[in-house]
Every structure is written in structure tokens, then in C-alpha cells.
Amino acid sequence: MAVAEAAQRIPHPLPAPWWRGKSGAAVLVVVAMLIAFLGWRNQGHWPAALTWNSVGPHLDRFQTWLSDNRNVPDPNLAFRAFNGLANFLDHLVAWSTRFFHWLTWAGTVVLGTLLVLRFGGRRAALGVLAAFASFAALGLWEESVETFSLMLAAVSLSLLVGVPLGVLAGRSSRFNRAVTPVLDAMQIIPAFAYLMPVVILFSVGPGAAVVTTMIYAVPPAIRITALGIRGVHPNTVEAATALGSTRWQVLTKVQLPLARRMLLLSVNQTILFALSMVVIAGLIGGQGLGDSVTNGLYTDPAMAIFAGAAIVIMAISLDRATEAMANRTDPAHRHLTADRSRQLRTYTAACAAAVGLTVVLGHVLNAGADWSRWTAQDWLRQYVQRGLDYVQNPSTFLFRDLTNPTGNFIVQHGIQPLRSFFIETPWPVTLIGLVLIAFLLSGLRPALIALVMLFVVGFVGEWTNAMDTFSQVLVATVLTVIVGFVLGVWAAENRYVSRALRPINDVLQTLPQLVYIIPFIYLMPVSGVPGIVASVLYAAPVMIRLVQRGIEGVSPETVEAATAYGATRLQVLLKVKIPLARDAIMLGVNQAIIMVLAVVVIGGLVGSGALGYEVAQGLQRNAFGLGVVASIAILALGITLDRVTQGRVRARTQA
């Protein structure tokens, strides 16, 4: 049997030309769709009989009911429980803000710096000190402390929830299967859609902001922890069991310590994901830097840029500090003699004393909680404003001859034709065509999922909008894949490029999209383009990282073997490394799609229209139902694209 299978796997000696294979069939499907588009343009709209129009109104009524029952003088037990939870979270954040106030600004700086110095080393401590200095220089000290308190609460609670669930998912594949779609939904459904129910249940304030942040930050904690636990070699677990360890002992003495690196990565990613919610948290009382970004966008773009910079600085310094602390305290690399650990204890005591002394001095000298005397804000503003003035000036060479025509060209020859192709082709043709392509690319199961999901999209009455968004997501994904692939390969081959790209990637992943979109709404003022730029900038870093890791992960022996046979560097890259890194590259494509979908709402705020616009409207114009329906459509598109791009890889890894 095995022999027969192996025989089947031997490739055909002379591969058939591409047009006879699956790609040829896919091209055929596209051609058929094009013929249908040209022949029966605008003649097949999604029929009303197949639409369930009352989803939205039902949801609206539910929301009204929720609010009415929540705001009576004596709400029932369930609502009181939410109240209690909200109060607890509010207090948690308030307590931590008060703690920093009590420390005074000087105490906060010394505590932060010495803590990282003691456990993470000099480099990381300098980074933290520089971060504090820049919050002060930007004139955003108070806001940064507020945001930091919020993040502290949100991140620790996310880990408290996420790590145990992740361990569970790592040990039980059934639980893992059950929880994966929920996590997908939590990451794809835009926060705008559930902001209002969260506000009704938890009211506004830091508590509600923590809850919203957690919905987005818990999934990576669960996923990465589970990955770490599953990554522990089964032989090791078996050996421990054979030696008579209980399940609990296996977990605490073998699996968790061996998954240490992944656990720390999950802490790290949870921090970054949580920080990317700062702006949205600001809309419901999260305070801090999020408010500065939102207000800045309307009245003072320079301020939004400063607040965005503070968020990025906070994210990067936290990222580097946690990484350094994790490396330094790794028991595998630390051999403590009695003498050395005594020294470390003295060192800890000295640091604690220094912090205590600073706090006492801070109070004696009345330092205050907020650094407010000197800031470099006005000085920095001149430069930022000069940049903004340049960008806002339509008579510059950059705008007149470069960005404006490019933007218009993309709209007229890229986005508009593609959009009308997807919207105006009769719906059965589009539906069947997409499902067939899914089948050809990934197989039967993904194709069936695509069929069901696309039907859901039409059923909730979002076919046209979803096709509009789909066309833009397609353009953004193709651009992301091209950019990400090229830069990822380059970074893997050249360490200077790799070193230069890392901070850029970090900035793009943590800077609020609404901030880096500011120049583009002036430079390419045409609807759709800023949204696509935002998606590409947000999604490309992930693609770059995964491609780079995939190519670097190709075993050196294979490369050596190929070189020994006389392959040139280019040949090794094209014929060995890239084909062997295919799974990682496909995962990159898949993640790129998910990230592109995650910024659909941001696109809605800068003119991409369609589903993103509806979700934004859902929150802002009290159309809760509409927002949820549009989010369901986004989720359905996300699941379709995920399964279609991931089908092959999954089939292979499971085999």
C-alpha cells in the first residue's frame, strides 16, 4: 500500500505545459467570467427572495432592549455582574495610574529604567530611558502614563485568560479545533461593530476600553501559547510520562519550561496587539494617547503624529525590554554560583533603594505626577508642520507630477474596472466562478466553505458591497504579496537589509493606521487609494517577516549540496530556497489577507466605502444592525480567503 502511494507521488517525468494544468483551468474560469461580464453586464443582481433583510432591524431591537434593561434603576443580576466587572476594571486601571502618580514622574522613570537594567541589561534600560525622555519631550507624559496603565491592565488580563486557554488548546486538539473559528472571528470582526454592545454592558471608561482591547489581544496569546506547547517534542513528553510524571508534572516541569520562548513571544505579541487598539479604546473612554490621535486628526494633525510616535515608542521599547529580560533570565543560559546570586541580590536591593529614595525625594521636592515644565513640542512642531505644509501643497512636483497622477491612474485603470467586474457580473457567474477557482487552487473542502460563505454574504444583503470590498482587498493583497515577497527574500539574503527593515516593520505594525494615512489623503486624494495604501503598509511587515523566516529556515545542508553541484547563488535561491520555503510563503500570503481585511474599516474612514463604511456608520450613526451585518460579510470573506489560500498547506501538513 505504502509502496503504491509512494509510486504515485513520483512526479511525471515530463511535466504537462501549464495551460493543461490547474492554472490553465483557473484562467479558463476567469475568461468565462469576463465573457459573462461583457455579455450580461448589470443584469443579475442578488435576488431579494434570497435575502434576509430583517437581520439588521432584529439586531437593532436587541440593542435597544439591552440598553433599556441595562439603564433601569435596579438592573437584574446579570447586568449587575457586568457592572461589578466594569467597576473592577475601572479601578484596576485607575489604581495603576494613581500608583504612577504617587511615584511622581521621577520615580516612574527610575523604577522603569532600573527594573529593566536589573533584569534586561544596559542596552534595554537605555532604550526605556530614551522612551521616557521622548514622552516628556513630546509633551505627552500624562497621556502616555494613562495609556501605559490601560495597557498594563489589558495585557496582564489577556495573558491571564489567554495562556491557560492556550495551554488547553496545546494539549487537546479537539479544544483547539473548537476554539480556532472563535479566535478567527475575534480577530477579523472590526472592533467598531462590537463597541456599542460593549459600551452598553460595561458603560464607558477604562474598563470598557480594557474589554475591547482584550477581545483583540487574547487570540494571539492563545494561539502562540498553544503552538509552543504543541512544539514540545512528543518523545520528550513520552519520556517524562515513562518516568512516572503525572499530567500536571509533565505540564509544569516539561512542557511549559520547554515552551518558554514561545510563551515569551506570546507576551510580546499580546503587547503589540493591545497597543494597536489604543485609538479605538480612546473612542469609549480609554483616554491617553488614543484621544490625542483622534482629536489631532480633526484639529491638529501634528498632534496626531506626535501621539502616534509616542505609541510606537512605547511599543518598541516594551518589545525590546521584554525580549532582553526574557533572554537574560533564561535559566538555560544562566549558571548562577552562590557568589553571583548574592551579588545579584545586593544589586536588586540597591536598585530598590534607589527607587525608594527617588520617590521620597520626589515627594519632598514636590515633583508632581506630570512632567510639564519643558517640552520640545513647539520645536518639533515647526518641522512636522513644514512637512505637512509640503504634503498639503498641491503645486509641488511631488503632488502634481507624481502622486496625484499615480493615484488617479490606479483608480481609473485598476480599482474601478476590477470593482465593476465583480459588482456587475451576474451574481451566479461570480459565485460559481469563485467557488471553481477555490476548488482548483485548494480542493473540495475549501471550495464548499467558499460556497457557503459567499452565500451568507448575499443572504444578509451585502453582495454588492462585499464584491466592492473584495475587489479592493484583492488589489491590496496582490500589492502586499509582491512587496512582501521581494523585500522578504532580499532581507533573507542580505543582513543589512534585514537590519534596516526591522525597525520599519515595527513602526508600521504599531503606528495607528489613521496616523500614517495622513500624508496619503493629501498626496493621493482619490477614494480607495489611501485605504489600499493603509492595508499594504499594515500587512506587508507580516509577509516580509514570514518570507524571510521561511527562506532563512531552509537547512544549510541542502543549500550546501546545491552549491556543491555548481549552482549559482541565484539558482540556489530560485530553485532551492524559494520552493522549499513555500509553506512559509503561503502562510505569509494567508496572514497578509487577514491583515488586509483587518483594516477594511480604516479604509472606510478614508474613502474606500462599501463594507468598511457601513461598519463605521454602524457605530457613529447608531445603526448597530447595519454594522454587524457588514461585519458578518467581512468575516465571511475572511474565512473564504483564509481557507482558499491555506487549504493546500493544511492538507500537506496533516498528511
Hey, which residues between 113 and 142 contact other proteins (CB under 8 A)?
A: 113-114, 117
Site for other proteins in 403-462 (CB under 8 A): 407-408, 411-412, 416
Q: How far is the CB of 410 from other proteins (least distance, A)?
A: 9
Interaction of residue 606 with other proteins, rule CB under 8 A: yes
Of the pair 200, 449, the CB lying nearest other proteins is at 200
Of the pair 370, 506, the CB lying nearest other proteins is at 370
Phi, then psi, of 118 in degrees rounded to 5 = -65, -45
d(CA 260, CA 229): 9
Q: How far is the CB of 367 from other proteins (least distance, A)?
A: 4
Interaction of residue 57 with other proteins, rule CB under 8 A: no
Site for other proteins in 175-194 (CB under 8 A): none
Chain centroid, CA 512 distance in Å: 11
Quick count: other Cβ atoms within 10 Å of Cβ 344?
13
Q: How far is the CB of 32 from other proteins (least distance, A)?
A: 26
Interaction of residue 299 with other proteins, rule CB under 8 A: yes
Q: Which of 51, 67, 156, 269 binds other proteins (CB under 8 A)?
A: 67
Q: Which of 248, 298, 397, 565 binds other proteins (CB under 8 A)?
A: 298
Of the pair 250, 623, the CB lying nearest other proteins is at 623
Interacting span for other proteins (CB under 8 A) from 16-24, 198-206, 264-272, 317-325: 198-206
Q: Which of 41, 171, 185, 370 binds other proteins (CB under 8 A)?
A: 370
Interaction of residue 104 with other proteins, rule CB under 8 A: yes
Q: Which of 213, 317, 591, 608 binds other proteins (CB under 8 A)?
A: 608
d(CA 653, CA 590): 15
Cite the DSSP H helix spans in 366-517: 377-392, 397, 404-410, 416-424, 427-442, 444-459, 463-493, 495-510, 513-516
The DSSP result for 14-41, as a single string, is SPPPGGGSHHHHHHHHHHHHHHHHHHST
Interaction of residue 616 with other proteins, rule CB under 8 A: yes
Of the pair 11, 73, the CB lying nearest other proteins is at 73
Q: Which of 230, 260, 261, 381 binds other proteins (CB under 8 A)?
A: 381
Q: How far is the CB of 129 from other proteins (least distance, A)?
A: 9
Q: How far is the CB of 100 from other proteins (least distance, A)?
A: 15
Question: Within 13 Å and on the Cβ side, how many CA atoms surround 502?
Answer: 10
Q: Which of 220, 488, 541, 604 binds other proteins (CB under 8 A)?
A: 604
d(CA 69, CA 204): 17
Q: How far is the CB of 404 from other proteins (least distance, A)?
A: 8
Site for other proteins in 576-595 (CB under 8 A): none
Residue 338: exposure state from Cβ atoms within 10 A (0-12, 13-18, ≥19):
exposed
Interaction of residue 473 with other proteins, rule CB under 8 A: no
Q: How far is the CB of 513 from other proteins (least distance, A)?
A: 12
Contact 184, 637 (CB under 8 A): no
Q: Which of 137, 167, 191, 200 binds other proteins (CB under 8 A)?
A: 200
d(CA 343, CA 498): 38
Of the pair 256, 630, the CB lying nearest other proteins is at 630
Q: Which of 10, 248, 338, 366 binds other proteins (CB under 8 A)?
A: 366
Site for other proteins in 515-534 (CB under 8 A): 518, 521-522, 525-528, 530
Of the pair 340, 582, the CB lying nearest other proteins is at 340
Interacting span for other proteins (CB under 8 A) from 5-13, 292-300, 322-330, 535-543: 292-300
Interaction of residue 74 with other proteins, rule CB under 8 A: no
| 121 grid coordinates | 541589561
Of the pair 24, 197, the CB lying nearest other proteins is at 197
d(CA 468, CA 611): 8
Of 496, 571, 519, residue with least CA distance to 384: 519
Interaction of residue 336 with other proteins, rule CB under 8 A: no
Interaction of residue 78 with other proteins, rule CB under 8 A: no
d(CA 404, CA 413): 14
d(CA 277, CA 286): 10
Q: How far is CA 532 from CA 323, 415, 471, 478, in A?
A: 32, 10, 11, 11
Interaction of residue 492 with other proteins, rule CB under 8 A: no
d(CA 563, CA 157): 51
Of the pair 325, 431, the CB lying nearest other proteins is at 325
Contact 638, 228 (CB under 8 A): no
Mutual angle of helices 141-171 and 122-137, in 10-degree steps: 130
Q: How far is the CB of 329 from other proteins (least distance, A)?
A: 16
Site for other proteins in 213-272 (CB under 8 A): none
Of the pair 311, 450, the CB lying nearest other proteins is at 311
| 352 grid coordinates | 530598590
Phi, then psi, of 46 in degrees rounded to 5 = -60, 125
Interaction of residue 42 with other proteins, rule CB under 8 A: no
Of the pair 165, 305, the CB lying nearest other proteins is at 305
Interaction of residue 91 with other proteins, rule CB under 8 A: no
Chain centroid, CA 147 distance in Å: 19
Of 255, 273, 254, 253, residue with least CA distance to 168: 255
Of the pair 201, 315, the CB lying nearest other proteins is at 201
Interaction of residue 203 with other proteins, rule CB under 8 A: yes
Counting residues that bind other proteins (by CB under 8 A) gives 90
The 8-class DSSP code of residue 276 comes to T
Mutual angle of helices 206-231 and 77-120, in 10-degree steps: 60
Q: How far is CA 229 from CA 162, 225, 402, 447, in A?
A: 13, 6, 51, 31
Interaction of residue 300 with other proteins, rule CB under 8 A: yes
The DSSP result for 377-416, as a single string, is HHHHHHHHHHHHHHHH-TTSHIIIIIIHHHHHHHIIIIIH
Residue 10: exposure state from Cβ atoms within 10 A (0-12, 13-18, ≥19):
exposed
Interaction of residue 393 with other proteins, rule CB under 8 A: yes
| 504 grid coordinates | 520599519
Interacting span for other proteins (CB under 8 A) from 143-151, 178-186, 369-377, 646-654: 369-377
Interacting span for other proteins (CB under 8 A) from 182-190, 223-231, 269-277, 349-357: 349-357
